Amino acid sequence: MKLYYDDDVNTNVLADKTIAVIGYGSQGRGQALNMHDSGLDVVVGLREGGKSWEKAKEDGLNVMTVEEAAKKADIIHILIPDEIQKDVFETQIKDNLEPGNTISFSHGYNIHFNRIRVPEDINVTMIAPKGPGSKVRETYLDGFGIPGLIAIEQDATGNAFDIASEMAKAVGLTRAGVVETTFREETETDLFGEQAVLCGGLTALIKAGFETLVEAGYQPEMAYFETCHEMKLIVDLIYEKGFGNMWHDVSNTAEFGGLTRRDRVITKEAKENMKEILKEIQNGTFSTEFAVDADTSYPRLYTQRRLESEEEIETVGKRLRTACGLEKEE
């Protein structure tokens, strides 16, 4: 594994380049402001009259339509949701490209699954912060940064890596370290992590534990504290120094019980199911399902979202968070 830091970056390639950040959500705002504060020429491409338009202007950035930004820029950094990137690229960006331009992403989804096809005379690069846009901005302002990834899918100019690495430095990623990867590796591992562990797997585990305690007659509030509230405390310990740090900080009772019982929760069958999830990512099954749902106004997603909001753990959790001052009452 090769990690790239500030001193590894050639900082001469972007001096006369304009970077268009398309989108001004969490990542768009964080990355655009960091690059701007690092001295790069940044414009923001947005839908005129949208909610982000005035916000970006208030932040002191040069704002224009997506078409205008794409035409003006040498590098177009696309940070809008995955499901709308293809349409925006085809209708507002593609016709404004010139040979030698760079198309940049922070997630390889649309390139890896061939939803976006970039002309051969255009660079295709990626810089991907391993954290939310708010943290990208917060850590930059604190004088540090968060780790990130860099990947080159298409090097039309011969210096695509230099372009991407200088962008990563301007965002603050090389302060912490940037790992070189590929669009395929980043996309497939990212989707798997979200589905099987970080978002899907974790919420299913918490919900199953909560329901087990409630069904056994324990107070829902006690069940919530034990299976959900304390999750952050444990994850923070693992984040800081790994599993060993977490086991060191919990009681011997917790360590013995956890180490001797965990394989009965995450069984060999669960791991086999994870392998199936990974196969569905690799062979395009998931991307097809997601595209169909997005193209039909998200009937599956909105149904799942509604059902999740009606879960007992959600109502109990909201009540407790409000009572403990962790969440403001609406």
Catalytic residues: 107
Does 298 belong to an annotated binding site?
Answer: no
Does 269 belong to an annotated binding site?
Answer: no
Given a contact cutoff of 8 angstroms between Cβ atoms, the answer to whether 168 and 148 are in contact is: yes
Given a contact cutoff of 8 angstroms between Cβ atoms, the answer to whether 128 and 148 are in contact is: yes
Does 45 belong to an annotated binding site?
Answer: no
Does 74 belong to an annotated binding site?
Answer: no
Does 166 belong to an annotated binding site?
Answer: no
Report the C-alpha gap between 158 and 315 in whole angstroms: 55
* DSSP string over 269-323: HHHHHHHHHHHHHHTTHHHHHHHHHHHTT-HHHHHHHHHHHTSHHHHHHHHHHHH
Does 153 belong to an annotated binding site?
Answer: no
**H-run or E-run covering 78:** strand 75-78
Collapsing DSSP states into helix, strand and coil, what is residue 104? Answer: strand
Does 165 belong to an annotated binding site?
Answer: no
CB 257: neighbour CB atoms within 10 A?
Answer: 12
77 forms beta bridges with 21, 104
Report the C-alpha gap between 227 and 207 in whole angstroms: 8
Does 27 belong to an annotated binding site?
Answer: yes
Does 104 belong to an annotated binding site?
Answer: no
Does 251 belong to an annotated binding site?
Answer: yes
Alpha helices by DSSP H, the chain: 26-37, 51-58, 66-72, 82-88, 109-112, 133-141, 160-171, 173-176, 183-192, 200-215, 220-224, 231-241, 243-249, 252-261, 268-282, 285-295, 299-309, 312-323
Does 261 belong to an annotated binding site?
Answer: no
Binding site listing for NADP(+):
24-27, 47, 52, 133
Binding site listing:
24-27, 47, 52, 133, 190, 194, 226, 230, 251
Binding site listing for substrate:
251
Binding site listing for Mg(2+):
190, 194, 226, 230
